[in-house]
Structure 1
Amino acid sequence: MQTRHTGISRRGLLAAFAASTVAAAPTYSHAFGLLRGAGDIRRIRMYSGRTGESIDTVYWVEGKYIGEVVKEINHFMRDWRTDGVIPMDLRNIDIMAAAHSLMEVDEPYMLLSGYRSPETNAMLRRRSSGVAKNSLHMKGQAADLRLDSRSVGQMARAASACHAGGVGRYSRSDFVHMDCGPIRTWGS
Structure 2
Amino acid sequence: MNRRILLLGAAIPALAATIIPAAHAAPDRRDGRRPAGPMSRRLQLRHAATGARFSGPYHDGRAADPVAMAELSIVLADTRTGAVRPFDPRAIDILWEVARQTRLGGDELVVLSGYRTPETNAAVHGAGDSQHLRAGALDVYVPTAQLAGFGDAALALRRGGVGVYGRHSFVHLDSGPVRRWGDVAPGPAGPAVAQQDDRIVLLRKAWAATRGR
* TM-score of the superposed pair, with normalisation by structure 2: 0.67
1:124 aligned partner? 124
After superposition, the Cα gap between the structure-2 partners of 1:52 and 1:153, relative to the gap in structure 1 and judged at 3 Å, is same
Q: Structure 2: 5+ residue runs without aligned partners?
A: 1-29, 184-213
1:101-160 superposed Cα distances (whole Å, 9 cap, x missing partner): 0001232211000001100011112xxxxx311111000110000133753222111111
Identity %: 33
Give the deviation of 1:54 after TM superposition.
1.8
Give the RMSD, CA atoms, in angstroms: 2.0
After superposition, the Cα gap between the structure-2 partners of 1:76 and 1:40, relative to the gap in structure 1 and judged at 3 Å, is same
Aligned counterparts of 1:156 and 1:67: Cα–Cα separation in 2: 29
- Number of aligned positions between the proteins: 153
Do the aligned partners of 1:31 and 1:163 also contact (CA within 8 Å) in 2?
no
Does 2:173 correspond to 1:178?
Answer: yes
Give the deviation of 1:86 after TM superposition.
0.2
Give the deviation of 1:177 after TM superposition.
0.1
1:166 aligned partner? 161
1:11-32 superposed Cα distances (whole Å, 9 cap, x missing partner): xxxxxxxxxxxxxxxxx92798
1:73 aligned partner? 72
Q: Which amino acid aligns with 1:154?
A: G
Give the deviation of 1:172 after TM superposition.
1.8
Q: Structure 1: 5+ residue runs without aligned partners?
A: 1-27, 126-130
Q: Which moved more, 1:154-163 or 1:141-150?
A: 141-150
Tell me: higher relative CO, structure 1 or 2? Use CA pairs within 8 A at least 6 residues apart: 1
SS at match of 2:120: helix
Q: How does 1:97-116 map to 2 (within 5 A)?
A: 97-105=96-104, 106-116=106-116
1:24-50 superposed Cα distances (whole Å, 9 cap, x missing partner): xxxx927984xx21x521122211222
* TM-score of the superposed pair, with normalisation by structure 1: 0.75
Do the aligned partners of 2:41 and 2:61 also contact (CA within 8 Å) in 1?
no
Q: Which moved more, 1:62-71 or 1:85-94?
A: 62-71
Aligned counterparts of 2:33 and 2:137: Cα–Cα separation in 1: 14
Give the deviation of 1:187 after TM superposition.
1.1
Do the aligned partners of 1:31 and 1:98 also contact (CA within 8 Å) in 2?
no
Q: How does 1:39-118 map to 2 (within 5 A)?
A: 39-105=38-104, 106-118=106-118
Q: Which amino acid aligns with 1:110?
A: V
